[in-house]
Amino acid sequence: MRTKKGMKCLCGKTAVETHVNIDGFKIKAWKCESCDEEYLDGDEAQFLLMMKKMQKKPHTAKVGVLGDSYIIRIPKEIVDYMQIKKGEKTKISLAGPHEILVSVNA
């Protein structure tokens, strides 16, 4: 049972909203201050599973050309998750012989 302030823990006390870090992903959760039990938010836990899948199975994107620039489209799921906005600054670096690292909001 979830309320604005918290959700009821199995121990009978109230678990309060918090965030937990799972493999670098910040997930909304509920933590009981009485017994230390943690509950992940259902929607965000689902989202985490999707992100983990995306990490294992990368999207494919073709390199396009726009004027003198080379462009790669970012999958919508990633844009939504990272809340990337038009005009946002990114850092692009070479991560390895065949990898480019793009940092956003970093």
Residues that bind Zn ion (CB under 5 A): 9, 11, 13, 32, 34-35, 37
The nearest distance, CB 7 to Zn ion, in angstroms, is 10
Nearest to Zn ion of 34, 46 (CB atom): 34
**3-class secondary-structure state, position 35:** coil
**3-class secondary-structure state, position 13:** coil
Nearest to Zn ion of 27, 31 (CB atom): 31
Nearest to Zn ion of 10, 100 (CB atom): 10
Residue 26 sits at the vertex; the CA angle it makes with 60 and 9, to the nearest 5 degrees, is 130
Among candidate residues 73, 29, 22, 28, the one with its CA nearest the CA of residue 51: 22
The nearest distance, CB 55 to Zn ion, in angstroms, is 32
